[in-house]
């Protein structure tokens, strides 16, 4: 790969040693102006963003039943808890405020 870039005149290679792997022997000594021009184009040109539309999956009948039952059950619990509280408030008001006058 380095040889291809050097043959195109994009980089200047320097050979440091006679032994070792190709990567150990060669070092990039300089990047030519043409190489910098290509690198600069890479910074400017960005791919256009991919537009993705996500649609939720349709809700299954079982999930819909559990969702509706959960809401209705919560309403029943609130009513059942509200009735004793309402009775207590009514009793307290009758006993302390209406009978004291």
Q: What is the pLDDT of residue 45?
A: 60
How is the chain split into domains, by residue range? 2-44, 59-101
Cα 13–chain centre separation: 43
Tokens of residue 18, six digits: 């006679």
Residues 62, 65, 66: CA angle, nearest 5 degrees: 90
Q: What is the pLDDT of residue 1?
A: 65
Instruction: Report the C-alpha gap between 95 and 87 in whole angstroms.
Output: 12
Under 8 Å between Cβ of 13 and 6 = yes
Q: What is the pTM of this model?
A: 0.32
Per-residue pLDDT of the chain (101 residues; tens, 9 = 90+): 667 777 777 777 777 777 777 667 777 778 888 887 877 776 566 667 788 888 888 889 988 888 888 888 988 998 888 888 989 998 988 888 776 55
Under 8 Å between Cβ of 27 and 13 = yes
Place of tokens 């969702």: 67
């Amino acid at each position: 790969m380095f040889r291809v870039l050097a043959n195109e005149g994009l980089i200047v290679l320097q050979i440091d040693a006679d032994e070792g792997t190709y990567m150990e022997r060669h070092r990039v000594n300089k990047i030519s102006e043409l190489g910098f021009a290509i690198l600069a184009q890479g910074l400017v040109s960005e791919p256009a963003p991919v537009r993705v539309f996500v649609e939720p999956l349709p809700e299954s009948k079982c999930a819909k039943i559990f969702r509706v039952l959960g809401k209705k059950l919560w309403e029943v619990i609130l009513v059942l808890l509200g009735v004793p509280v309402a009775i207590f408030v009514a009793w307290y008001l009758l006993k302390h405020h209406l009978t004291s006058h």
